[in-house]
A and B are shown apart, each in its own frame.
Chain A
Amino acid sequence: MGTFLIANKVLLPEMLVFLMSLLTLMAGVFLPTRMRESSALVFAQTALWGAIALAFWGMLAGTVTLFSGTVVVDHLAFTLKVLSYVTASGVCFYAHAYLKAMKMPVLEFYVLTLLSVLGLSALLSANHFITLFVGLELMSMPLYAMIALRRHRSDCLEAALKYFVIGAMATGILLYGIALLYGATHTLGFPDVANAIPVAMHGHHLLMSFALVFITIGIAFKLGIVPCHMWLPDVYEGAPTIMTMMVATLAKIAALGMLLRLLVSVMPALFAEWQPLLMVLVVLSLFVGNVTAVKQANLKRLLAYSSIAQLSYLLLGVFTGTTAGYSAAMFYLATYVLTTLAAFALIMCFRREDGEEAVDIADYAGLFQHHPWHAVMFAIVMFSLAGMPPFVGFIAKLQIFQALLQTGPFWLVIYALLLTVVAAYYYIAVVKVMFFDESQTPLRKVSLGLGNGLLTLNALGVVMLGVQPSGLLTWLSL
């Protein structure tokens, strides 16, 4: 009975989210048409903020393992969950006006978002491969579907299809990796597997190395790094911007959660294998992301390549194999999510004359003359992504490099920093276009409704957290 109460308490956030997603669905059926959309937003926000409150309440119980060890609620799960609820809440605010403008079904959007967050939350709490897999799928499938919600646009559909096919493949590969690991350890609970690996090292070393490769590839898809990065620019470009925002934030939270759970908690015994593996991935992704971004004319594509690079900096933190590195990766993720939200929200603010979204960098020429505040926010975001002080991106990169310098190798630091020089080039080029180029035809700014205020807060947050990162740093450290 006591266990059940604890179970209730720590799983309340998920229960609330699930319940509210059903309520939102019902709202679509029973509420009068004019109230549906706003009530859906209210439901979604209630669910997310209620879940945050409940998560904090539940965390008072400390680390709890439930249901014969299939679910765990610990600090990692808790922080990433709260981060994902906050992110989803931001996405919902930004989405509201956008959905109407793009003629996307509003209600379904909120329902699917809540279910996706539910999946993410389960994934983060997973203590068993089955929970992990089911959570992962529950998180991903709404994303596939929501990208296709602008169903008359062939580029959206193409993006959805590519995301879906590659995603399904990656899931297959991940599952095969899990199956290989299962073959070596005959068990699927995380603590059991972690205990069984050192034993199985004698007979099944090669098998577990392979399992590691397959699992890493599966996670690499979610992170969007080499060799599973090819889908990312296409999806970022083709998807409705609100969905790009979601793929760029929620999916990355899931990826880091999986990375830390699987590599760090489950396979610490295979550290000697996964560290060089991550190094190769980081080296390649840093290069591919940063260099390819240089030639992009489409802002969303540029941000896609930049995200490949950004996520490989995050991976550098995990690569170190130290607590400092993991904490740095957590902080990097939080700042990346914050900055990315602002970046895509800014893109959502502007339309070309023909009503299309302004996604070409050239569209933004001379933005500063017509919409100075938005141009400044863009500059803040770009500078932060480029890792310049006093923006939060600087602190994040500093954390990563500090952790990396402790463990080395030194040439990797040099390499990563050299590529930040390249990165600075394309980020600054965007700012240059906005501030210094002649404007051709002024962009039309559209209101994001409630998102307008949030956007300002968001951009200021990028500055404020850069100036005062201590709280977040402490909270996110593992």
Chain B
Amino acid sequence: MIDVQTLTFFAFSGLLLLSAGGVVFSRHAVSSVMFLILCFLCSTVLWLMLHAEFLGLALLFVYVGAVMTLFLFVVMMLNVKIDATKARLLKYFPFVLVLGGGLVTMLWLALGPDAFSIKKTGVLAFSEHYNNTRAIGEVMYTQFVIPLELTAGILLVAMVAAIALTFRGSQQRRVQDTPKQLMASKANNLRIVSMASEHEGGE
């Protein structure tokens, strides 16, 4: 008999794999992005089923909220026309499929029910007072303070790098240069041009 949990798991994991396929195979980059967002949504559900609330929501916020928006933004900005002829799959697609199938099978052998059956791992059980966020927070700033600091460094790198790479320099900005304004003088701003006087004989 299938309980709700099982049903939910299979529904969402099926959807997850389908949308993963969608990311790979869809014709347009925009739909790929959408499929990826769907992937993340399904994962969030699955993680919530695991009682990993904090990460599930973080995934939603960080990925769907920020990263995928960035992707979408870039896709829209570049707006690349895909040549229809190139949309075909590669010649060696069947070969890759065999490779992938083999890999999944072998991983199944190592990870499947033989290795991690319920008998061996037990059911997912937490005490009533389990608080996922607290559990994470308890070690995040104690044991893992060094990686946390380093992650700050990574974010700094991302910021510096992204700015250094894409910032096109000041020549495109229109800024007020106060010293320059104050230094303005008649001599270098005003040009007196001598011209022949207007013809007066028109009257």
Contacts and interface: CB of A to CB of B under 8 A. Distances in A.
> Would A and B touch once assembled, by the CB under 8 A criterion?
yes
Interface of A: 11, 18, 25, 66-68, 70-71, 105, 108, 111-112, 115-116, 118-119, 122, 128, 130-131, 133-135, 137-138, 141-142, 144-146, 148-149, 151, 180, 183, 203-204, 206-207, 210
A203 B117 CA distance: 12
B17 interface: no
Interface of B: 106-107, 109-111, 115-116, 120, 142-147, 149-151, 153-154, 156-158, 160-162, 164-165
Nearest to B149: A18
B121 to A, nearest CB: 10
A210 B110 contact: yes
10 contacts: A11-B146, A108-B160, A112-B160, A112-B161, A118-B150, A118-B153, A138-B150, A145-B162, A145-B164, A203-B120
A145 B161 contact: yes
Contacts of A148: 165
A66 B144 CA distance: 10
Contacts of B107: 210
B115 to A, nearest CB: 6
Given A70-B146, A207-B111, 14 more contacts: A18-B149, A108-B164, A112-B164, A115-B156, A119-B153, A119-B154, A138-B150, A138-B154, A145-B160, A145-B162, A145-B165, A149-B164, A183-B116, A206-B115
A135 B148 CA distance: 11
Nearest to B166: A151
Contacts of A131: 146-147, 150
Nearest to B169: A105
Contact of B157 (A11, A128, A145, A149): A145
Max count, chain B CB within 10 A of own CB: residue among A66, A118, A203, A206: A206
A183 B116 CA distance: 9
A115 B107 CA distance: 37
A138 B142 CA distance: 20
B100 to A, nearest CB: 14
A131 B106 CA distance: 30
Nearest to A144: B161
Given A108-B164, A148-B165, A138 B111 contact: no
Nearest to A17: B153
A119 B88 CA distance: 41
Contacts, number: 90
B150 A149 contact: no
Contact of A115 (B109, B143, B147, B153): B153
Nearest to A107: B164
A138 B153 contact: yes
Contacts of B161: 108, 112, 141-142, 144-146
Given A67-B145, A67-B146, A122-B146, A207 B154 contact: no
Tell me what chain B mostly uses at the interface: helix, strand, loop, or mixed: helix
B146 A138 contact: no
A183 B110 CA distance: 10
A294 to B, nearest CB: 28
Contacts of A135: 150
Nearest to A28: B160
Nearest to B103: A210
A25 B115 contact: no
A134 B157 CA distance: 13
B154 A70 contact: no
A232 B147 CA distance: 29
Nearest to A123: B150
B157 A67 contact: no
Given A118-B153, A141-B154, A148-B165, A130 B160 contact: no
Given A119-B150, A149-B165, A111 B110 contact: no
Given A149-B164, A183-B116, A70 B144 contact: yes
A146 B113 CA distance: 46
A169 B111 CA distance: 22
A210 B110 CA distance: 8
A203 B145 CA distance: 34
A211 to B, nearest CB: 9
A70 B145 CA distance: 9
A151 B146 CA distance: 33
Contacts of B158: 141
A66 B142 CA distance: 11
B115 A70 contact: no
Contacts of A25: 160
A402 B115 CA distance: 42
Contacts of B109: 206
A454 B76 CA distance: 48
Nearest to A104: B164
B44 to A, nearest CB: 19
A144 B164 CA distance: 12
A251 to B, nearest CB: 15
Contacts of A183: 111, 116
A70 B147 contact: yes
A263 B120 CA distance: 28
Nearest to B151: A134
A185 to B, nearest CB: 13
B70 to A, nearest CB: 15
Nearest to B142: A68
A429 B169 CA distance: 45
Contacts of B150: 118-119, 122, 131, 134-135, 138
Nearest to B109: A206
Given A180-B110, A207-B111, A210-B110, A71 B146 contact: yes
A67 B161 CA distance: 30
B27 to A, nearest CB: 21
B41 to A, nearest CB: 21
A71 B162 CA distance: 30
Given A68-B143, A203-B120, A137 B154 contact: yes
Contacts of A206: 109-110, 115
Nearest to B156: A115
A71 B144 CA distance: 10
Contacts of B156: 115
